[in-house]
C-alpha cells in the first residue's frame, strides 16, 4: 500500500492537488526484482485511485527486468475536444 500511496503523492506533485481528478492513466515500470507483488500493487492502486481526489485513474503496470520502480508517464485530461 505504501508504494500506491507514494504514486499518489508523485501525481499530486506533478499535476497539483486541484488537477488530480483529471488524471486518466498512470504508467508504472516495476522490475521483477523490485520486491513488489504485482497483484497487490494493482489492488492498492485501484483503492487509491478510486477515492477522492482521483477520478478512477487507470494504472498500467509494465514488468521490466531488474529492480526498477518508477512512474513512466501520466495521462491527463486537458478538457480539449481535439484529443
Cα angle, residue 9 at apex, residues 7 and 15 outer, rounded to 5°:
100
Pairing of strands 23-31, 69-76: antiparallel
Tell me the domain boundaries of the chain: 2-76
pLDDT digits (tens, 9 = 90+) for 27-58: 999 999 999 999 999 999 999 999 888 888 99
On the question of pLDDT at 83 being above 90, the answer is no
Look up residue 32 and give its three cell numbers.
Answer: 521483477
Residue that has been written with the C-alpha cell 515500470 in this structure: 29
CATH number of the 2-76 domain: 3.30.2320.50
Q: Which of 36, 40, 41, 48 lies closest to 10, judged by CA?
A: 48
* pTM for this model (two decimals): 0.84
d(CA 29, CA 21): 22
pLDDT digits (tens, 9 = 90+) for 56-75: 899 999 999 999 999 999 99
Angle formed by the axes of helices 2-15 and 38-49, to 10°?
A: 50
Amino acid at each position: 500500500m505504501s508504494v500506491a500511496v507514494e504514486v499518489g503523492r508523485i501525481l499530486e506533485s506533478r499535476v497539483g492537488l486541484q488537477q488530480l481528478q483529471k488524471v486518466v492513466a498512470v504508467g508504472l515500470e516495476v522490475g521483477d526484482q523490485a520486491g513488489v507483488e504485482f497483484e497487490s500493487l494493482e489492488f492498492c492502486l485501484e483503492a487509491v485511485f478510486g477515492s477522492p481526489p482521483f477520478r478512477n485513474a487507470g494504472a498500467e503496470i509494465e514488468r521490466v527486468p531488474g529492480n526498477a520502480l518508477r512512474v513512466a508517464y501520466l495521462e491527463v485530461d486537458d478538457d480539449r475536444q481535439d484529443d
